A = this chain, B = another copy of it.
Amino acid sequence: MSDDSADYRAAKALVVFSGGMDSAVALYWAREKFAAVATVSFAYGAKHNAVEHRHALKTCAKLGVENTLIELPFIGQHFTSSLLAGGAPVPRGDYNETNMASTVVPFRNGIMLAAAAGFAETRNYDYLVLGNHGGDHAIYPDCRPEFIDGMAAAIYSGTTNGVRLLSPFCRRTKSAIAKIGKELGVDFSLTYSCYEGGEIPCGECATCREREKALRFIGE
């Protein structure tokens, strides 16, 4: 997934950055490791995309990091998920509940990583960084280690410059990521993580609850 002792100081990284807390920690993590860092965000028709991206831009402005927004309108047009505009209501409750299955956006991380890989090849970035974590595995198949390993092999062999995929938190919990973020000085007040997409987070969806728990864990 990633080698903590690896030396990335001569390399450039592109971070997949939603504006949520996990990818914010991934961005701060990458800034410490790499010679240069940029971010890419995706608008895929989700209810929360617009608010989330406004938050992503706040963090990027604070850090002086470039952001490119890639639009994926076909997901909203052709796919089904309660996360998408026009989809069923976002379920309330924790991630371990079976009704959370409706929040799956089919192969979302695969699509985002593939688009990011092509963009990284175009701009000659050496590495892609994704902030997925261990707590997502049960519901979201495109967060699991086997998925990451397959994508890493496909991206490395399928790009002319051999782009490498790093998933530094793939086997960590969200609370552990929050702890790393605190050590790195992440400003969590600039991040956003609600599936409903309102200006004020609902506090009831799974991602709101998980965020709250992780911030409580680090005393914020």
Contact = CB atoms under 8 A, between A and B. Distances in A.
Interface of A: 68, 70-75, 78-80, 101, 104-111, 113-115, 117-119, 121-122, 141-142, 144, 146-147, 149-160
Copies of this polypeptide in the complex: 2
A60 to B, nearest CB: 17
A54 B80 CA distance: 27
Given A149-B153, A150-B153, A141 B159 contact: yes
A74 B146 CA distance: 28
Given A108-B118, A117-B110, A152 B155 contact: no
A107 B78 contact: no
A157 to B, nearest CB: 4
Nearest to A110: B114
Contact of A110 (B68, B104, B118): B118
B152 A157 contact: no
Contacts of A110: 114, 117-118, 154-155, 158
Contact of A158 (B74, B122, B142): B142
Given A141-B160, A150-B152, 13 more contacts: A68-B78, A74-B115, A106-B122, A107-B114, A108-B118, A110-B117, A111-B118, A144-B157, A144-B158, A147-B153, A150-B151, A150-B153, A154-B154
A147 B154 contact: yes
A118 B142 CA distance: 10
B146 A80 contact: no
A160 to B, nearest CB: 6
Contact of A141 (B119, B149, B158): B158
A71 to B, nearest CB: 6
A163 to B, nearest CB: 8
Q: Can you list the 8 inter-chain pairs with the closest CB atoms, starting with the nearest?
A: A150-B154, A150-B153, A107-B118, A106-B121, A114-B114, A146-B157, A142-B158, A147-B158
Residue from A74, A79, A155 having most chain B Cβ neighbours under 10 A: A74
Contacts of A104: 160
Nearest to A148: B154
